[in-house]
A and B are shown apart, each in its own frame.
Chain A
Amino acid sequence: MVGGYAGKILRINLSNKKFHIEDLDLSLAKSLLGCLGIASKIMLEEVDPAVEPFSPENKLIFLTGVLTGSTAPAACKSIVVSRSPLTNIWGESVFSANTGIELKRAGYDMLIIDGASDKPVYLWIHDDSIEIRDASGFWGMDTYTTCEAIKNDLGEKKAAVVCIGPAGENLVRISSIISDNGRAAGRCGLGAVMGSKNLKAIAALGSKNIEVANPGLLNDLRKEIISITRERLKALSDYGTARGVVAFEEMGNLPIKNWTKGRFQGAEKISGMRMAETILVGKKACFACHIACGRYIRVSEGPYAPLEGYGPEYETIAALGSLCMNDNLESIAKANDLCNRFGLDTISTGATIAFAMECYERGIITKDDTGGIELNWGNLDAIIKVIELIGRREGIGAILGEGSKRAAEKIGEAAERYAMHVKGLEIPMHSPYRFKEMGLQYAVSERGACHLRGLSMLPARGILFPDIGFDRQVDGFSIEGKAHLVKVMQDICRVVDALGLCKFVYLFGGVPLRRLPQLYTAVTGWETSLDDLMRAGERIWILQRIFNVRMGVRRKDDMLPKRFLEEPLNEGAAKGQIVELEPMLNEFYVERGLDDEGRPKMEKVLELGLNFAAKYIA
C-alpha cells in the first residue's frame, strides 16, 4: 500500500441503512491529488442539477487529505463537501476535525453519505465496525453537549466526534458542522445538509497506523518546517488570528458597518492583543500543530459572564464586531459561543446581521419585522437575540437564517443592494477595496465569496512565494497582473487543502513551497514536483468549476455586490477606491481557459487529462 492513504472509501446510505466499501482508485488519487479531487469527480458524476441540496440524493462527503493524520506538521485538515443549500453550487468547508484522522486510522480515506434517515441517527465508525445508531435523545442538543453525550453513549472517550446543533437540525442555511475540538466547518451551510439527512453526528475511532513511505525524510522535513515556522508564527501563537484586527484597520482591510466605513475607533478593543490581556486563559492546538493559534477564553464578570470555552478568531471578531459596529470583546466571545453551540457559521451570521442592521437603519425593516428588537448598529443585546432566533429559526431569525441573499429577496427589492454576498455566500472579512485581487477572488471562487481559496492578498501583505513566481510585494490597489495572481494562488491553495495541511503554517509560515512535493513524496513514496502538484490543483479547480457550470453558473454570477463596484469609501486607507472587476475577470477567463460565459473550454479540459469530464461541457 502506498503511504498516506488508507486505501478505502466507505459509502453509507441512510435511507436503506446499508453501507459498502470500495477500493480507492490510486491512479485517480495520483492525478487528482487524493480525495478532494476524487470527491470533485464523484460530485460531478453523481449529483446532477436535479438533485436539490436537501434531497436525499444529495451527497455529503467527509474526506481526508493525502497527508492528514501523518506526522507532517499541522497535517490536521478534513474537508466536507456537498451541494450547498446556501448557494446551490459547490459546497465545501475545511476544518481541523480529529474525526477525519480517526476515520483514516479506521481504514477509510473518505466517507460518502447519501439518502436520509427517517429518524435522527449518528454514525459510529470503529475500525471495521460500522453502526448507524439512534440519535433521538441528542436531537435539540447544542453541539458541545452533543459531542460529550455521544462519547458517553459509546463509552468511548477517545472517539472523535463532529456534529450539528439546533441550527442544522432546523435546516438553517447558514449552519455549520462543529468538531469536538471546537473547530468549525462553517461555510456553505453544510450543517443543514446533515440536518436534512437526520444525521446528528459522526463519531470515529481507528487503531491502524497511517503508513509513511520514507519516515527518515519526513522527520528531516518536519524538523525544518517546525524550526522555520515556530519563529515566524510566534505572534500568531501569542495573539491568535485576531492579531490582525488593528493592522487591518490601519491598512483599510477591516470591514466596518456592512462595508460602508473605512475607520473603526474600536479596533484596539477587539484585537488579539486585548484578548491576550483580558479574557484569554489558554491556547488550543490542532492535531500535530506546534503553533496553537486557537484561543481558550474565560469571561468572569459583566453581562456575558460566566462564559468559558473556545474563543473567537479574526473572521468571527470582524463579522460580529466591526461589521456590526460592535466593539465589545466579551459580547463577541458570547456571540461566538452561541453560534458554535447552535452550529452557525460566524461569518455568514455576522454578515447577515450587519445586512439586517443596515436595512433597519434605512427603514426597510422595522420593529414590526424584528419582533420588537431594535436592530441598531452596535446593539449588543440585539446581536445576541438575533443569533438565538436564527438558531431556532424563529421570528426574524427564520428569514435571516436563510442567508443574506434569500433574506433580501424575501424582504424586497430595496434590501438587495445591502446583501453582501457572492453567489449567496456572505463576503468574508478582507476588503476588496483594499486588495483588488480579493475582489476578483471572491467573484470567481468555487464556493462563492471565499478568502481561503486563493489568499491572493498575501503578496500585497508582504508574504511572498518565490517558488511560484511571487518574489516581490504587489500593489493591492492595482489590477495589473491580478488575474494571474488569483489563478496561481487558487491552485496552491487547492494543493494545500488536498494535502490536508494548515494554510496558516504552510502559506504564512515562511515554508518554501518546494517542500510540499518533498513532504508528499516522503509520505506517499510517489515522486512528484511542485509543478505536478500545481497541475493537480488546477484540475481540482476546473472540475469544481464544471460542477458549478452544470448547476447554472455563468459569467453573470461571477459578480460582486454593487457596493464594491460603485460606492467608494470616504475615509481610511482605501478611500476613493472601487473594484474594477470586468477587466480582471476578462483576463482571468483567459488564464483559466474559460470561454466568454465562464465555462471551461474543451481544450483546457483535455489538456489537463480530465477526459472523463468532457461529456459535462459538451
Chain B
Amino acid sequence: MIKVKLVFLDEDLRKALGIKEDTFNLPEGSTIKELLLAAALKYGEKIIEKVSKAGTIIALNGQNIEFLGGTNARLFDGDRVAIIPQIEGG
C-alpha cells in the first residue's frame, strides 16, 4: 500500500468538505484516477465536479499532471496531489 495526500485548494470545496486535505491508502501502482475515485467514494460527486471544471489543474507534487500522463500518472508513497482551481488575478 502507498499513502498519498490529497490537498484541496478550492475554497468552496474546502467549505463543503470541512477539511483542507486528506490522506488515502492506495494499492501499489495506483494512479491519479484511482485516487480521485477513492476521494469521490468518500466525499461524493463534488470532487469530480471540481476536477472537471474548466481551468482546474491537478498537480502531482506541484507538477501539472497534464504533462505527466494525465490521470494515468502513477502515484508513489508520500506523493502529494493538489486540486487547484483556476486562479484569477495576481
Known contacts A572-B62, A573-B62; A250 and B9 CB within 8 A of each other: yes
B64/A475 in contact, CB under 8 A: yes
Contact with A along B1-22 (1 / 0, CB 8 A): 0000001011110100000000
Contacts of B86 in A (CB 8 A): 232, 461-463, 508
Contacts of A510 in B (CB 8 A): 54
Measured CB to CB, the nearest residue on chain A to B7 is A250
Contacts of B88 in A (CB 8 A): 232-233, 235-236, 241, 243, 504, 508-509
Contact with B along A24-50 (1 / 0, CB 8 A): 000000000000000000000000000
B84/A247 in contact, CB under 8 A: yes
Shortest distance between the CB of A271 and any CB in chain B (Å):
9
Q: Which of A235, A509, A572 contacts B11 (CB 8 A)?
A: A235
Contacts of B56 in A (CB 8 A): 462
Complex CA distance for A509 and B90, rounded to whole angstroms: 13
A246/B90 in contact, CB under 8 A: no
Known contacts A251-B62, A461-B57, A475-B64; A241 and B9 CB within 8 A of each other: no
Contacts of B87 in A (CB 8 A): 243-244, 247-248, 461
Q: Which of B10, B12, B61, B89 contacts A508 (CB 8 A)?
A: B89
A296 near B: Cβ within 8 Å? Answer: no
A473/B64 in contact, CB under 8 A: yes
Count A interface residues, CB 8 Å. 40
A429/B90 in contact, CB under 8 A: yes
Complex CA distance for A477 and B67, rounded to whole angstroms: 10
Which chain A residues have a beta carbon within 8 Å of chain B's beta carbons? 232-233, 235-236, 238-241, 243-244, 246-248, 250-252, 273, 293, 313-315, 429-430, 451, 460-463, 473, 475-478, 504, 508-510, 572-574
A250/B89 in contact, CB under 8 A: no
Q: Can you list the 4 inter-chain pairs with the closest CB atoms, starting with the nearest?
A: A573-B62, A241-B89, A508-B88, A236-B88
Contact with A along B33-62 (1 / 0, CB 8 A): 000000000000000000000111101011
A247/B11 in contact, CB under 8 A: no
Contacts of B57 in A (CB 8 A): 251, 461-462, 473
Q: Which of A243, A462, A477, A574 contacts B89 (CB 8 A)?
A: A243
Complex CA distance for A313 and B54, rounded to whole angstroms: 24
Contacts of A478 in B (CB 8 A): 67
Contact with A along B70-90 (1 / 0, CB 8 A): 000000000000101111111
Contacts of B12 in A (CB 8 A): 235
Which chain B residues have a beta carbon within 8 Å of chain A's beta carbons? 7, 9-12, 14, 54-57, 59, 61-64, 66-67, 82, 84-90
Known contacts A239-B11, A463-B55; A247 and B85 CB within 8 A of each other: yes
Q: Which of B54, B59, B90 contacts A250 (CB 8 A)?
A: B59
Measured CB to CB, the nearest residue on chain A to B20 is A268
12 extra A-B contacts, CB within 8 A, seeds A235-B88, A463-B86: A233-B88, A236-B88, A236-B89, A241-B88, A250-B9, A315-B90, A460-B64, A461-B55, A462-B54, A473-B64, A477-B67, A509-B88
Shortest distance between the CB of B60 and any CB in chain A (Å):
10
Complex CA distance for A475 and B10, rounded to whole angstroms: 22
Known contacts A235-B11, A462-B56; A476 and B89 CB within 8 A of each other: no
Complex CA distance for A140 and B61, rounded to whole angstroms: 50
Known contacts A273-B11, A573-B59; A248 and B90 CB within 8 A of each other: yes
Contacts of B54 in A (CB 8 A): 462, 510
Contacts of A250 in B (CB 8 A): 7, 9, 59, 62, 82, 84
Complex CA distance for A287 and B85, rounded to whole angstroms: 27
Contacts of A240 in B (CB 8 A): 89
B11/A238 in contact, CB under 8 A: yes
Complex CA distance for A279 and B55, rounded to whole angstroms: 29
Q: Which of B85, B86, B87 has the most CB of A within 10 A?
A: B87
Contacts of B89 in A (CB 8 A): 236, 240-241, 243-244, 293, 313-314, 504, 508
Q: 25 interchain pairs (CB within 8 A)?
A: A232-B88, A235-B10, A236-B89, A241-B89, A243-B88, A244-B90, A247-B87, A248-B87, A250-B82, A251-B62, A251-B64, A314-B90, A429-B90, A451-B90, A460-B64, A461-B57, A462-B56, A475-B64, A475-B66, A475-B67, A478-B67, A572-B62, A573-B59, A573-B61, A574-B62
A252/B62 in contact, CB under 8 A: yes
Contacts of B85 in A (CB 8 A): 235, 247
Contacts of A461 in B (CB 8 A): 55, 57, 86-87
Shortest distance between the CB of A369 and any CB in chain B (Å):
34
Complex CA distance for A432 and B56, rounded to whole angstroms: 21
Shortest distance between the CB of B9 and any CB in chain A (Å):
5
Contacts of A248 in B (CB 8 A): 87, 90
Measured CB to CB, the nearest residue on chain A to B60 is A573
Known contacts A236-B89, A475-B67; A251 and B11 CB within 8 A of each other: no
Contacts of A508 in B (CB 8 A): 86, 88-89
Complex CA distance for A571 and B17, rounded to whole angstroms: 29
Complex CA distance for A163 and B59, rounded to whole angstroms: 44
Shortest distance between the CB of B68 and any CB in chain A (Å):
10
Complex CA distance for A235 and B88, rounded to whole angstroms: 8
Complex CA distance for A574 and B87, rounded to whole angstroms: 18
Complex CA distance for A460 and B87, rounded to whole angstroms: 12
